[in-house]
Amino acid sequence: MTNTVHLADRVGKLGVETAFLVAAKAAAHAARGNRVYPFHLGDMNLPTPGNIIEAAYLAMREGKNGYTPNAGIPQLREALATEFNTTRKTSYSLDNVAVQPGGKPVISKFLLALMNPGDEVLYPNPGFPIYESQIRFHGGVAVPYPILPGEKNFSFDLDAMEAAITDRTRLLIVNDLHNPTSAECSAEDRRKIAEIAVRHNLQVLLDEAYFDVRYEGESVSLIQEKGMVERSVILHTFSKKYAMTGWRVGAALGPKEIIDVIAKLNVNDESCTSHSNQYAACEALQGDQAGAREILSTLRKRRDLTVELLNDIEGVKCYSPGATFYLYPDVTEAMAKAGYSDYQPFLDAVLANTGVSICARTHFGTAHPGEERKYLRFAYSGIDARDIEAGLGKLKVFLEK
Amino acid sequence: MTNTVHLADRVGKLGVETAFLVAAKAAAHAARGNRVYPFHLGDMNLPTPGNIIEAAYLAMREGKNGYTPNAGIPQLREALATEFNTTRKTSYSLDNVAVQPGGKPVISKFLLALMNPGDEVLYPNPGFPIYESQIRFHGGVAVPYPILPGEKNFSFDLDAMEAAITDRTRLLIVNDLHNPTSAECSAEDRRKIAEIAVRHNLQVLLDEAYFDVRYEGESVSLIQEKGMVERSVILHTFSKKYAMTGWRVGAALGPKEIIDVIAKLNVNDESCTSHSNQYAACEALQGDQAGAREILSTLRKRRDLTVELLNDIEGVKCYSPGATFYLYPDVTEAMAKAGYSDYQPFLDAVLANTGVSICARTHFGTAHPGEERKYLRFAYSGIDARDIEAGLGKLKVFLEK
């Protein structure tokens, strides 16, 4: 039977979201009767606000069960344009919006619409692993730029970003409010990135999945910088702000010329996003925001608790970032003290001894030459305060013994 | 602004589902205050059965709002394996099933998993236009095989299919119960197709979107033929049987080695299919089938009425196929009598004069050399009996005047 299946060559370049592999190990550990403290996956254990659920139910009962236009229902596209014009000072209309089954599909559609085989694409490393996977799968050359530790948070290494540009560089992916590090751009960073993009005529994917997961201050989009609106596609998702990860509703926003191609990809790939879920997304944007506020408030408390408890562990140093629901502590000394130099045996020992399930630097790309510090990623979106306390208590005992 | 956007070369190869363009013209006609009789789009104007809606609502309220496993919830994968083992005599387990956001995504994922650039792929012409679009978009060579009129229905031209095979042919797409012609395989056709696939070691996409839309007799899957299960991926959808087009739930079923790659594509493309909609699909498969029976009964009445009224028009000849919800009448004489030799002016005149909105042969591929007869496609899934009567009455007057 084996010789009847012949996989395409490109399949060898396909990566996975390695956090799902960590999840599988955690599930196996739990299946053996052990308690697991799930810090590994950016899923959420908070309920979707009830008004959003009711809006979906109403839409279904009202017969919103057929295909929608490929780019989404006009109401949702208009509501998104209005939302962005308010929060990002853009001048979008519904022509600049293509609804997607989640934020993630924007990554492949951006690349399929704009990248030729052999084009070089800059992407953050560490970073969301799907960037590198999709660039390579569709024939591009994935060129990483680093994220560096700073005084109070991580930041983008813009000198390295520009130094990596060659005459074959066409696209730039920026994930301001960054997974896994929570890095964010300063006003000067935003200006510099826009200058780089304009100077080298790069087309840009702005992954703003965490734009609204902000505890202090205000998120400012790179789209507001000079020259960006005409060259950028924004990845937007309803997953995080409204605890709707499993609903699979997001959108691509950008120049009409690109959005038209992305809508054409919708025709070819999935026809449209789930009809009633699009009505739910309208309610999320335009209805009562009490649910979203409560979600954010819960996440803020979890962040404070997790940061405090991590910093209370000997050999662990963790910033308190103002956005996202990820922490990326430096655990170099703690790992050394525990006698580990490689991540996987360390993660396995932590899981086996404490039930704490976490991702490591290696799940977000290959270490840069000369990279010496060790990092873990803790997501606190899917774990209650009580379990954060219990899990990190056990981790402290394990690491300090 | 225009020179900042540089579309990828492959975008030029991207087609669309041209029925959506017909829909746009119909909408514009309706917006000018005219009555439209929508025979153009394979959408449905029948309600999704209430038990399926309630199952989705229950799942949402029970907190089924987070990510699911990339290949789908185990319950749905198992239910689908059981369904196929019953209806197609396969021996699938959940490892052979990857849930998708609709049936359509199986087309691109089949090609991305198995087609190398330059590979030749056989596909039906006339046929669902996304096959050709996706083959070309992802670098393959699209090689059509014809569908021919027969005594009582259309059928696949298997001699032409085999004659089109070269040493670069790797993949074969078969849409038994065919859109737009309603062609279906005889038992001998199925045997011959399997022999061709085995003889030339082709990997096969079996698009079975209309397997359950059958009014007489019983659908039999090509998967049951010798040598097919190890080389075939089945495209399955919940859209038609349960009037769930807008829910976007379908599945790919096939050898584990291929399904694993397709699940990896799920990770990269959309993470998973809408969580609550997967529970709705479980209810569709395992719950009360009264709704599905009623949908089928309504479609059967519409088919009988549409076939009768089409054949009552001078110069129109239409089979009465036992499955799908499409009719593909030969209108060669009627078009000639009305003074048209090209489709587009004819369709425009029909819409302007009668409000009847239809697709033509040209929406399903390029005519074969020597192809002389003229065909239209009437979909009766989205139009009530009363409107079928009114619309075809006007069409008769227009064509016979």
Provide the terminal-to-terminal Cα distance of chain B, rounded to the nearest Å.
52
pLDDT band at B21 (very low <50, low <70, confident <90, very high): confident
Note whether A305 and A323 are same-domain residues.
yes
Domain end: A242, A261, A286, which one? Answer: A286
The domain of A30 spans: 9-47+291-400
Chain A residue with minimum CA distance to B140: A8
- B271 and B199 share a domain? yes
Set of chain B residues whose Cβ sits within 8 Å of the Cβ of A267 = 16-17, 20, 130
Alpha-carbon span A114 to A173, nearest angstrom:
12
B5 touches chain A (CB under 8 A): yes
**pLDDT band per the 50, 70, 90 thresholds, residue B1:** very low
Give chain A's mean pLDDT. Answer: 96
Inform me whether the C-beta atom of residue B246 falls under 8 Å from chain A C-beta atoms.
yes
Q: What element of type H or E holds A148?
A: strand A141-149
| 3-state helix, strand and coil shares in percent for chain A, rounded to the nearest 5 | 45, 15, 40
For residue A1, being part of any structural domain is answered with: no
Nearest CA in chain A to B103: A270
The tens digit of pLDDT for each residue in B84-123 reads 999 999 999 999 999 999 999 999 999 999 999 999 999 9
Residue B4 counted as domain residue: no
Give the lowest-confidence range in A11-15, A19-23, A229-233, B226-230: A19-23
Output the domain CATH number for residue B328.
Answer: 3.90.1150.10
Specify the DSSP class assigned to residue A285: H
**Strand locations in A213-272, DSSP E?**
232-237, 250-253
Domain presence at residue A199 = yes
Residue B2 has pLDDT above 80, yes or no: no
Point out the domain boundary residue: B253, B286, B319: B286
Tell me the chain B residues in contact with residue A227 when contact means C-beta distances shorter than 8 Å.
4
Query: A56 vs A139, A261, A276, CA distance in Å?
Result: 39, 28, 5
In this predicted structure, what is the pLDDT of residue B24? 86
Q: Give the CA radius of gyration of chain B.
A: 21
* Separation of alpha carbons B44 and A21, rounded Å: 40
In a domain, A63, yes or no: yes
Q: Which residues in B49-64 are b (16+ Cβ under 10 Å) and which e?
A: beebbbbbbebbbebb
- HSE (side-chain half, CA atoms, 13 Å) at B331: 28
Distance CA B124, CA A335 (A): 60
d(CA A10, CA A7): 8
d(CA B265, CA A8): 13
Domain C-terminal end among A241, A263, A286:
A286
The predicted model scores a pTM of 0.97
Report which DSSP code applies to A339: T
| pLDDT tier at A1, thresholds 50, 70, 90 | very low
Residues A132 and A230 in one domain: yes
pLDDT at A138 over 80: yes
Residue matched to tokens 């993949």: B171
| CATH number for the domain harbouring residue A195 | 3.40.640.10
Residues A34 and A139 reside in one and the same domain: no
B139 in any annotated domain: yes
- Nearest-Cα residue of chain A relative to residue B245: A66
Over residues A164-219, the pLDDT tens digits come to 999 999 999 999 999 999 999 999 999 999 999 999 999 999 999 999 999 999 99
Residues A304-312 have a mean pLDDT of: 98
CB contact under 8 A, B7 and A245: no
Nearest C-alpha neighbor of B262 from the set B130, B88, B108, B75: B108
- Whether residue A98 lies inside any domain: the answer is yes
Q: Would an 8 Å CB–CB cutoff place A8 in contact with chain B?
A: yes
pLDDT for A90 equals: 98
Residue B274 to residue A272, Cβ atoms within 8 A: no
Contact across the interface for A17 and B60, Cβ inside 8 Å: no
Q: How many CB atoms lie within 10 A of CB A373?
A: 13
Taking a C-beta distance cutoff of 8 angstroms, is the pair A274, A249 a contact? yes
Amino acid making up residue B35: R
Distance between B332 CA and the closest CA of chain A, angstroms: 31
3-state secondary structure chain B: CHHHCCCCHHHHHCCCCCHHHHHHHHHHHHHCCCCCEECCCCCCCCCCCHHHHHHHHHHHHCCCCCCCCCCCCHHHHHHHHHHHHHHCCCCCCHHHEEEECCCCHHHHHHHHHHCCCCCEEEEEECCCHHHHHHHHHCCCEEEEEEEEECCCCEEECHHHHHHCCCCCEEEEEECCCCCCCCCCCCHHHHHHHHHHHHHCCCEEEEECCCCCCECCCCCCCHHHCCCCCCCEEEEEECCCCCCCHHHCCEEEECCHHHHHHHHHHHHHHCCCCCHHHHHHHHHHHHCCCHHHHHHHHHHHHHHHHHHHHHHCCCCCECCCCCECCEECCECHHHHHHHCCCCHHHHHHHHHHHHCEECEEHHHHCCCCCCCCCCEEEEECCCCCHHHHHHHHHHHHHHHHC
B356 contacts: CB under 8 Å, gap ≥ 6: B37, B39, B350, B391, B392, B394, B395
Residues B37, B57 within the same domain: no
Identity of the residue numbered A86: T
Is A113 within 8 Å of B7 when comparing Cβ atoms? yes
Residue B375 has pLDDT above 90, yes or no: yes
Task: In whole angstroms, give the CA distance from residue A324 to residue A307.
Answer: 13
Q: Which two tokens stand for residue A389?
A: 């306390």
- Are A276 and A56 contacting, i.e. CB atoms less than 8 angstroms apart? yes
Residues A388 and A246 in one domain: no
Q: Is B243 on the interface with A (CB under 8 A)?
A: yes
Residues of A in contact with B112 (CB under 8 A): 8, 10-11, 137
Q: How many A/B residue pairs have CB atoms within 8 Å? A: 228
- Please report whether residue A145 resides in a domain: yes
* pLDDT at residue number A17: 75
A320, A233: one domain: no
CA distance A132 to A126: 10
> ipTM score here?
0.96
For residue B71, what pLDDT band results from cuts at 50, 70 and 90? very high
B24 and A CB contact within 8 Å: no
Q: Give yes or no for A246 touching B (CB within 8 A).
A: yes
| pLDDT confidence of residue B73 | 97
Could you give the number of structural domains in chain A?
2
Q: Same domain for B275 and B354? A: no
Q: Quick one: B97 and B139 in the same domain?
A: yes
Rg over alpha carbons for chain A, rounded to the nearest Å, is 21
The predicted-structure confidence for A24-57, as pLDDT tens digits, reads as follows 899 999 999 999 999 998 889 999 999 999 999 9
Q: Do B299 and B262 fall into the same domain?
A: no
- pLDDT at position A49 is 98
Give the alpha-carbon dihedral of B92, B93, B94, B96, to 10 degrees.
-40
Confidence of residue B309 (pLDDT cuts 50, 70, 90): very high
**Chain A interface includes B15 (CB < 8 A):** yes
Q: Is residue A121 one of the residues assigned to a domain?
A: yes
Band (pLDDT 50/70/90 cuts) for residue A2 is: very low
B60 plus B37 within the same structural domain: no
Percentage, residues of chain B above pLDDT 70: 100
For residues B238 and B301, membership in a common domain is answered with no
B172-194 exposure pattern, b = at least 16 Cβ within 10 A, e = fewer: bbbbbbbbbbbbbbeeebbebbb
* Number of residues that this document lists for chain B: 401
Query: Could you read off the pLDDT of A325-367 as tens digits, one per residue?
Result: 999 999 999 999 999 999 999 999 999 999 999 999 999 999 9
With vertex at residue B54, the alpha carbon angle to CA B51 and CA B56, rounded to the nearest 5 degrees, is 115
Q: Is A54 in the B-facing interface, judged by CB distances under 8 Å? A: no
Q: What is the DSSP string of A348-376?
A: HHHHHHH-EE-EEGGGGSPPPTT----BE
* Least confident range of A229-233, B17-21, B209-213: B17-21
Give me the DSSP letters along A180-214: TT-----HHHHHHHHHHHHHTT-EEEEE-TTTT-B
Determine whether the interchain pair A248/B273 forms a contact, defined as Cβ–Cβ distance below 8 Å: yes
Is the pLDDT assigned to residue B339 strictly greater than 50?
yes
